[in-house]
Structure 1
């Protein structure tokens, strides 16, 4: 993982609906452009805050998190029937080549970014598969989210993705966050 992972003892903070100010459900679902038969991976799913929002729109959803304790909290709260909990780092995904139609990450890219993680994402996405990344931007003030020095700029993330063979379709830099969509 990157700089750190989110502390499990603060898992309740991940259910704070004020998170929608940074990324709304409509905005995420629009960016994902989901197919009801799609196999999707939520990279850094935590306790399933956004996973639950996406699940009704897809066939199968893998909630990937490196911390088993996050899955325990999610399990206690109730996991949708089409969601499978997967304990793994993004740098070592347990999926076959080209298995995932769409992958997304909400506010966790700064935690898992590495050459290995990006290579894994590129490996598991099917040809023309979609990747959606929303995270805190390095150009933000840092009033919410991780410290600014742990963030990436939109320009840097676009470069990371392109260096791994992904084609960036859209890169929006907002006051505190970015939203990027790319294709394998």
Structure 2
């Protein structure tokens, strides 16, 4: 069972990178559900939130980014760790040509992490015949739902705008 999961993960990783996937960071290699890794480590953060993006709707993307921005303003940039997880149709938010690309860049600079679902990206690559380019702020994670579960297990509050 575990060997099959490893084979699937290696196949997906090979497929993505052979088709040209590019994320500035990736959790695919050496991933462990029990060991939380983050792009922006905020050791003094007292609050933790994970926001779900699963719809292809720029209005909802902006609402999600507003939520992230509002939390940063309320608690303070160094007092809250915010992770936005995009999967399914919502992954389009984290593509390089996304209409919210400038907002992703600004929030990333303030410590917000943007996680992109590898399962969805692999499916998109098969459908399109090539892998869409991710925004440089996106971190590739094995699966969006699994990442949300992992973050919740580590004390993150789940928010679906």
> Which TM-score applies when normalising by structure 1?
0.34
- Name the one with the larger helix percent: 2
- Name the one with the larger strand percent: 1
